[in-house]
Amino acid sequence: MKKLARFLFKTAIILFVLVNIVTAFHAYKFTHIYNRDEVEIKSKDEKNGWDVTKEILFGAKAVKLQNPAPDSVIETILLTTKDSIKLETWYIKTPAASKGTVILFHGHLSKKSSVASEAAGFRQMGYHTLLVDLRAHGGSGGNTCTIGYDESEDIKLAYDYIKSKGEHNIVLWGISMGAAAVSKAISDYGLQPSKVILEMPFATIRQAAHGRLKLMGMPAEPLSTLVLFWGSVENGFWAFGMKPAEFVKKITMPTLLQWGRNDPRVLQEETDAVYKNIAGKKQLVVYENSGHQSLCEKENEKWMASVSSFLNQ
């Protein structure tokens, strides 16, 4: 009986250590974005069984996505964080008389050119736009992504830049991680944009980890807790404190919250929690035919109508 007990104890210890090793690797891959020249990029068809197994056990390596040159005339603006990270942004003016400036922030593992459709829509409505590559993404420096935590500084830098140009009507727009970072920036720095548009922000980073793990076919718990723990240790920030549903309690300006009914990553309960806690005048628009994607591209007519109506209120 004692031998069996010792065997079970040793087995439990080994499993505990192995699970922590696996989640530590996943946490690193979740928060580290490689430069394109650092890794070999394989298509889905090029991956063999060992490649797939490595990604399941140790996570998939993500690389910075390149921004194709836009059709519009742009001014490239570089902003610098307190840690000397260079953030690349595109300032694009509306051809019409300006009503203000919309600053746009993309999601995790994306880039500023991915929100070009939304930016074009805003310019059509009469707004200048500033498209921002968040740290570790696109043309910006750095390789560590904190899923909106430190990125809140990026939001502040972009906001301060547009404000320094004498702009009085500033709208902050963010999607997914970008939306979460916007909520944290307003909470942390007391930013006062005229209006805020949040598209499919997660309620907490724990729930964001849940969504990622489920899509990978892995159990959400206890792995999400371990991923957050190791992400905190590896990157020097308290991941458990990343709670957009709490941050929005300090958003007192008019806010439009948008979400896709078929979103597999951000659930309705998360959207409801965020919406409930927004302090100011608010509006929720649900897109019945969309998932975790560009609502502007998927349901353009509805997006244009909803956003234009909100901005004109």
DSSP sequence for 117-130: HHHHHHHHTTEEEE
**Residue 120 counted as domain residue:** yes
Encoded tokens for 299: 């349901």
Does residue 227 lie within any of the structural domains? Answer: yes
The residues with which 130 forms a beta bridge, in sequence order, are 91, 103
Domain count, the chain: 2
What pLDDT does 219 receive? 64
Residue 63 lies in a domain: no
Same domain, 112 and 132: yes
Q: Is the pLDDT of residue 155 over 90?
A: yes
pLDDT at 167 over 70: yes
115 & 255 share domain: yes
Token pair for residue 59?
């996570």
Judge whether 42 lies within some domain: no
99 and 1, same domain (yes or no): no
Supply the DSSP symbol for 114.
Answer: G
Q: Which residues pair with 174 in a beta bridge?
A: 105, 198
- 59 pLDDT band, cuts 50/70/90, is confident
Same domain as 52, residue 82: no
Return d(Cα 33, Cα 50) in angstroms, integer. 22
Among candidate residues 283, 275, 277, the one with its CA nearest the CA of residue 313: 283
- 231 and 267 both lie in a single domain: no
Any domain includes 38: no
Average pLDDT over the chain, rounded to whole? Answer: 91
Q: What is the CA radius of gyration of the chain?
A: 21
127 shares its domain with 109: yes
| Claim to verify: residue 181 and residue 132 sit in the same structural domain | yes
Tokens in use for 256? 């439009």
Residues 28, 149 share a domain: no
Query: Could you list the residue range(s) of the whole structural domain that residue 86 is in?
Result: 74-204+242-311
Give the pLDDT confidence of 17-55 residue by residue, as tens digits.
888 888 888 888 889 999 988 877 766 676 777 766 777
Asked whether residue 161 falls in the same domain as residue 246, the answer is: yes
CATH code of the domain in which 298 resides: 3.40.50.1820
Alpha-carbon span 32 to 231, nearest angstrom: 10
Calpha distance 108→175 (Å, rounded): 9
pTM, two decimal places? 0.93
82 & 136 share domain: yes
According to DSSP, the residues that pair with 255 across neighbouring strands are 196, 282
Asked if residue 64 belongs to a domain, the reply is: no
pLDDT tens sequence across 88-136: 999 999 988 899 999 999 999 999 999 999 999 999 999 999 999 999 9
Nearest CA among 124, 173, 133, 139 for reference residue 151: 133
Is the pLDDT assigned to residue 220 strictly greater than 70?
A: no
- Say if residue 113 is in the same domain as residue 226: no
* Residue 248 resides in a domain: yes
Same domain, 15 and 110: no
Weakest mean pLDDT among 69-83, 184-198, 284-298:
69-83
Residues 6+ apart with CB under 8 A from 160: none
Is residue 41 in some structural domain? Answer: no
